[in-house]
């Protein structure tokens, strides 16, 4: 039987520590690993979270994201009462990420002594606010405006099924016939890269949930994103309108699975989910890398 102990009792909230055996030649950087949109480890979407004392070079953040080989690694620095938050995939920096935002809030609430139930992040997509509500973390995120686009042969070739509808925001959203098509789809990675949109989301009306979705991001060196928060900033507005309801309970149909509790709020989407800590590590970073341009 596994025994889960409260990690915060053993790992103090310090971002940078001089390595005892490094002769002062390097730093030890804490990196937390959190499974988001789940309450069970090895489910949901894993994210790396680095809480920094100061910004490190972009090239180093990208190298860390590539080394972690997760869909996103988040980096955050405290700025007075708020935090500045950035997200890196193995393929580069991205403008919005839901699961790594949830993971970062989880770490700050559990390890960094936040004295209220709200944390505010300054990001490339504006201010994102996360509220802790019991065991849920609710993110206030921008909704993408979707434009209907023609269904093409290229979409059918890439997906393996012909979509009923196609919509474009930052990402391409394709509505399929039923859950079986979404869950059984095995898109062609090279063909996906030729489609317009940063990510591809396959979605349909669900039986047990309001909608079922899978997300693919080969342009960011990620074949399938296990649970995509920013993707639901696309699909939730679509399904809220189709279903005529503001609250949408969404299921991500990846192998890891995930559940998102969503609500439309004007031009914003409230996306809530649970999170669980998987690991805390210490990254050995040389002073030379810390100063790299």
CB 32 within 8 A of CB 280: yes
Residues taking part in catalysis = 72
**Main-chain dihedrals φ then ψ at residue 165, nearest 5 degrees:** -145, 160
Please give the Cα distance from 282 to 29 (Å, whole number): 5
Residue at token pair 């995930």: 258
CB 290 within 8 A of CB 64: no
3-state helix, strand, coil in the chain (%, to 5): 25, 40, 35
Residues 6 or more apart whose Cβ sits within 8 Å of residue 274:
37, 38, 39, 44, 135, 136, 137
Closest CA to 119 of 110, 128, 111: 128
């Amino acid at each position: 039987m596994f025994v889960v102990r409260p990690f915060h009792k053993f790992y103090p909230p310090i971002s940078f520590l001089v390595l005892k055996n490094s002769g002062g030649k390097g730093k030890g950087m804490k990196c937390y690993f959190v499974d988001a949109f789940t309450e069970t480890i090895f489910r949901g979407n894993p994210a790396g979270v680095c809480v920094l004392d100061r910004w490190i070079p972009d090239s180093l953040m990208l190298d860390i994201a590539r080394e972690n080989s997760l869909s996103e690694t988040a980096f955050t620095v405290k700025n007075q009462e708020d935090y500045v938050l950035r997200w890196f995939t193995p393929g580069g920096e991205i403008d919005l990420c839901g699961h790594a935002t949830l993971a970062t809030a989880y770490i700050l609430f559990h390890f960094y002594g936040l004295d209220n139930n709200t944390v505010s992040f300054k990001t490339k997509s504006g201010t994102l606010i996360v509220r802790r509500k019991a065991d849920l973390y609710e993110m206030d995120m921008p909704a993408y405006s979707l434009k209907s686009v023609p269904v093409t042969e290229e979409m059918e070739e890439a997906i393996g099924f012909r979509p009923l509808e196609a919509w474009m925001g930052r990402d391409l959203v394709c509505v399929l016939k039923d859950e079986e098509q979404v869950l059984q789809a095995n898109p062609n990675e090279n063909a996906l890269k030729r489609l317009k949109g940063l990510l591809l989301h396959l979605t349909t009306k669900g039986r047990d949930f309001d909608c079922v979705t899978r997300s693919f991001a080969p342009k960011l060196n990620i074949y399938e994103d296990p649970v995509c928060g920013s993707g639901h900033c696309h699909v939730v507005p679509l399904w809220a309108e189709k279903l005529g309801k503001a609250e949408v309970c969404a299921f991500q149909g990846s192998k890891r699975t995930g559940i998102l509790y969503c609500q439309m709020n004007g031009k914003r989407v409230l996306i809530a989910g649970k999170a669980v800590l998987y690991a805390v590590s210490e990254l050995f970073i040389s002073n030379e890398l810390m100063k790299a341009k």
